[in-house]
Amino acid sequence: MLYGIAETLKKNQLSITDSRKKILELFMRTNGALAHADIEHQSGTEFDRVTIYRTLQTFVEKGIIHTIPTADNSVRYALCKDQCSAGKHHDDHVHFMCDACGTTYCLDHVVVPAVVLPKGFTVTQTDVVISGTCKNCVQ
């Protein structure tokens, strides 16, 4: 994301609130994806769960962050690239989840392969999640 915090919020026609600034700042300084609980613990501020949830949903709707499914049916969130916008996510890349440290990485250079569906089926989202050991945990 090439914009600063205030510019990103303005560009997406969002008011600049403390919760939005702090949560977006956390995403911008994090290398990898965050879960709701990560934001609760790392934001440095006491935001209630509902505020965090609503902020995350707003950021997803505006194309600021995207969701990443996990094996335990929870969701992680990561910053979108500049080509995403409200209602139009273009995050067609693979996600890697480290079994050792729990970090989730967006592998932007690994493109999700095209999937040809039978007639009558429509794709809205394709998720490819690979698990293993990241380069920081390999010994």
Domain total in the chain: 1
Q: Is residue 138 part of a domain?
A: no
pLDDT, tens digit (0-9, with 9 covering 90-100), for 77-115: 988 876 655 655 556 678 888 889 888 887 878 877 888
pLDDT, tens digit (0-9, with 9 covering 90-100), for 6-26: 998 998 899 999 999 999 999
pTM: 0.75
The CATH number linked to 20 is 1.10.10.10
Q: Is residue 18 part of a domain?
A: yes
Q: Is residue 137 part of a domain?
A: no
Q: Is residue 139 part of a domain?
A: no
Q: What is the DSSP letter of 91?
A: -
Residue 33: domain span: 5-132
List Cα–Cα distances, 95 to 8, 9, 70, 123, in angstroms: 24, 25, 10, 18
pLDDT, tens digit (0-9, with 9 covering 90-100), for 22-48: 999 999 888 778 988 888 887 667 778
* Alpha-helical segments (H) within the chain: 5-11, 18-29, 36-42, 49-61
